Amino acid sequence: MEVVRYPGPCPTLPGGSVVTIGAYDGVHLGHRSIIDRVRKLAADRGMASAVITFDQHPARLVRPESAPLLLTDPEQKLELLEATGLDLLLVVRFDQERAHESPEDFVREVLVGCLETKALVVGEDFHFGHRRRGNVGLLRTMGAEAGFEVDGVDLLGPDGQVADDAHQVSSTAIRTALAAGDVGRAAELLGRNHEVRGVVGRGDGRGGPELGFPTANVSVPDDVLLPADGIYAGWYTRPDGTRHRAAISLGRRPTFYETAHASLLEAHLLDFDDDLYGERAHVAFVARLRGEERFDSVEALIAQMGRDCEQARRLLSS
């Protein structure tokens, strides 16, 4: 896949292109069904397949007070899009000027002027441009004038069939599942386990010396969505690509702190003993074992942590 940053030199597309456009946060099964359609249309017509996305989620600039937390950070989104087999990824800088741009100007500048779009595939509910005034109807009108067709597709369920609003694969549905700690449901909609990334830092030093369960304290960016507080089974991937089973604690450590701290992500790697400080970790959530609890004694907490680790080991070995 060729990755092009825009504004900047446009790619050379002598035969034109088949394009889709969107924030593509999560690159979930719904996104991938649209991308598959783009690739098929492009192959049938001998054109380049392309996706347009943005360097930040538009809502973070347009309505920062209610912008959703991200399912994928920019690095992960790029990796997932590159893995789809598309020919081209156009990453558009989303700034104040772009936020106030009319949908008509965006179509003329980017779709027609830069990518020489001959066919556009988007969800039927797609909106874009200033005040979200652009929609499939406007695209079809402009496409008839500019020489590109528009394929507005219905949103699908996890089984690949057209679904009603309550069962559609969407970033909103995935966020709702994660907010409830239902990482299994989120995985069904994503087509993979929900994963977050961050750098391992030093915690309060309690995990190994006091509790006997050393943990990697992973600092996840504030704009990335974490599941609900609780204990999870999952996978920890190191920078060299090695993957380790892990019991993951996500929460505010109520056994030790009376006042609410920010949620802390701690991963105890099973059957592992090495220094992880300073490395960039990928943490994937497979199953929720239980909610976060306050224990009456450190001994009771240690006993429960042992049971959590054994349950995680069993789940991840099956």
- Non-local (6+) Cβ contacts of 259 within 8 A are none
- Ramachandran assignment for 212, one of left (phi > 0), alpha (psi -120 to 50 degrees), beta (any other): left
DSSP the chain: -EEEEESSPPPP-TT-EEEEES--TT--HHHHHHHHHHHHHHHHHT-EEEEEEESS-HHHHH-GGGPPPBSS-HHHHHHHHHTTT-SEEEEE---HHHHT--HHHHIIIIIIIIT-EEEEEEETT--BSGGG-B-HHHHHHHHHHHT-EEEEEPPB-TTSSB--GGG---HHHHHHHHHTT-HHHHHHHHTS-EEEEEEEE---S-TTTTTS---EEEE--TTBPPPPSEEEEEEEE-TTS-EEEEEEEEE--TTT-SSPPPPEEEEEETT-----TT-EEEEEEEEEEE-----SSHHHHHHHHHHHHHHHHHHHH-
A 10 A CB-CB count for 64 gives 8
- Active centre residues (catalytic): 266
Radius of gyration, alpha carbons of the chain: 22
